[in-house]
């Protein structure tokens, strides 16, 4: 009798869950359409019920700096299992070949600067420091993240580019791409298989290992002067680490549930994501007291934010919003779209 009553209750509740997800999906799709900015992939997961709301969730989108989340998780896994000799207190010394332009201030410190792994992780996630990221990514192995995500059941993963290699290739500063225009670089990159792309990335770094930071920045400044925003978008979104919103949501879901790391390292990774300094996307329209663990990502044509919204003790909501093909000047609209989707999800499940 008890089992029969439980079955009847489940049959009554399940349609309510389905209706809620269906309503939210339609509202999210309408919000995306009204925003009229780029192409958007969305994955929302209620961690209490396992209910999912997805829009274009299977396609691998450019991640920009969002790839720094799986880099941190894989680094934490290697430290937890002692697969890596690194510890949080381990000092790493910055070489000239580590310096990358763009986000972060570490690039401007003198070559030979020593920074702990813990500080590098903090800068990588909370300030999106490109140089800090590359120093860590090289130490754990450029194929390690893809291998790890494949084992988790994330088939879309294409994460093996350092910030420096992606930038050098996009600028055409390697023998594989020298003299090519942005569209030609993108076309050639898209024709390559993963192994060839990795080899090209390693070659770009090797050929430019003695490149000064000032020359690197000068190349980028010249590119910005002579290339159109459309050309910048084409090459930046092609030569980038990629993952689907569904696979990203799976990673974040397993992280929050403690299925990837032990209690200590789970708390550590969430703590870092909770100290994010760029908060104009997922948290923007949420009540101030709501805790959000997240990471943004931005390159030409790409505006992303992915994270976990905490609804209460032990209750969380994964929200992944990836926006590509964002026209120059429309970045603010894309940020508001991400904030609106996060707010819709929060109101549906709080």
Give the model's confidence band at 253: pLDDT under 50 very low, under 70 low, under 90 confident, else very high. very high
Task: Point out which residues pair with 45 in neighbouring strands.
Answer: 52, 318
Instruction: Report which of 94, 31, 22 is spatially closest to residue 340, judged by C-alpha positions.
Output: 31
Q: Average pLDDT for residues 105-129, to the nearest whole number?
A: 98
Contacts of 310 (CB under 8 A, 6+ apart): 290, 291, 292, 293, 316, 317
**Residue whose structure tokens are 């969730």:** 57
Alpha-carbon span 196 to 214, nearest angstrom: 29
Give the model's confidence band at 106: pLDDT under 50 very low, under 70 low, under 90 confident, else very high. very high
46-65 pLDDT tens trace: 999 999 999 999 999 999 99
User: How far apart, in Å, are the Cα atoms of 145 and each of 61, 136, 148, 150, 333?
Assistant: 16, 12, 5, 8, 32
Give the model's confidence band at 108: pLDDT under 50 very low, under 70 low, under 90 confident, else very high. very high
Whether the predicted pLDDT of 10 surpasses 50 = no
Instruction: Report which of 69, 129, 106 is spatially closest to residue 322, judged by C-alpha positions.
Output: 69
Model confidence, pTM: 0.94
Provide φ and ψ at 11, rounded to 5°. -65, -30
Give 52: exposed, middle or buried? Use CB within 10 Å, 0-12, 13-18, 19+.
Answer: middle
Are 206 and 176 in contact by the 8 Å Cβ rule? The answer is: no
140-196 pLDDT tens trace: 999 999 999 999 999 999 999 999 999 999 999 999 999 999 999 999 999 999 999
Give the model's confidence band at 314: pLDDT under 50 very low, under 70 low, under 90 confident, else very high. confident
Instruction: Write down the mean pLDDT value for the chain.
Output: 95
Torsion of CA 258, 71, 131, 332, to 10 degrees: -80
21-51 pLDDT tens trace: 999 999 999 999 999 999 999 999 999 999 9
Alpha-carbon span 66 to 71, nearest angstrom: 9
């Amino acid at each position: 009798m008890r089992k029969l009553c439980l079955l009847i209750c489940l049959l009554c509740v399940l349609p309510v869950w389905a209706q809620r997800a269906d309503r939210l999906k339609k509202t999210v799709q309408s919000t995306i359409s009204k925003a009229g900015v780029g192409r958007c992939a969305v994955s929302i997961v209620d961690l209490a019920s396992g209910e999912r709301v997805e829009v274009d969730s299977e396609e691998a989108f450019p991640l920009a700096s969002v790839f720094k989340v799986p880099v941190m998780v894989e680094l934490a896994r290697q430290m937890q299992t002692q697969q890596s000799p690194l510890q949080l207190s381990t000092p790493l010394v910055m070489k000239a070949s580590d310096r990358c332009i763009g986000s972060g201030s570490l690039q401007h410190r003198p070559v030979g600067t020593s920074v702990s792994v813990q500080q590098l992780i903090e800068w990588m996630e909370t300030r999106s420091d490109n140089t800090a990221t590359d120093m860590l990514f090289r130490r754990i192995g450029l194929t390690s993240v893809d291998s790890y995500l494949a084992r988790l059941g994330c088939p879309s993963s294409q994460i093996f580019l350092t910030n420096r290699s992606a930038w050098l290739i996009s600028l055409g500063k390697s023998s594989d791409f020298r003299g090519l225009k942005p569209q030609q670089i993108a076309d050639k990159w898209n024709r390559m298989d993963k192994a060839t792309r990795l080899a090209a990335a390693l070659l770009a770094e090797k050929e430019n290992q003695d490149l000064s930071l000032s020359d690197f920045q000068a190349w980028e400044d010249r590119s910005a002067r002579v290339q159109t925003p459309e050309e910048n978008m084409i090459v930046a979104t092609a030569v980038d680490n990629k993952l689907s919103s569904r696979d990203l949501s799976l990673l974040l879901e397993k992280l929050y549930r403690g299925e990837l790391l032990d209690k200590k390292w789970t708390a550590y990774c969430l703590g870092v994501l909770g100290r994010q300094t760029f908060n104009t996307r997922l948290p923007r329209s949420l009540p101030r007291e709501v805790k959000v663990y997240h990471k943004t990502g931005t390159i030409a044509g790409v505006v992303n934010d992915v994270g976990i919204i905490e609804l209460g003790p032990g209750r969380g909501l994964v929200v992944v919003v990836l926006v590509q093909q964002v026209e120059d000047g429309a970045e603010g609209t894309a940020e508001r779209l991400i904030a609106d989707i996060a707010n819709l999800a929060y109101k549906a499940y709080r």
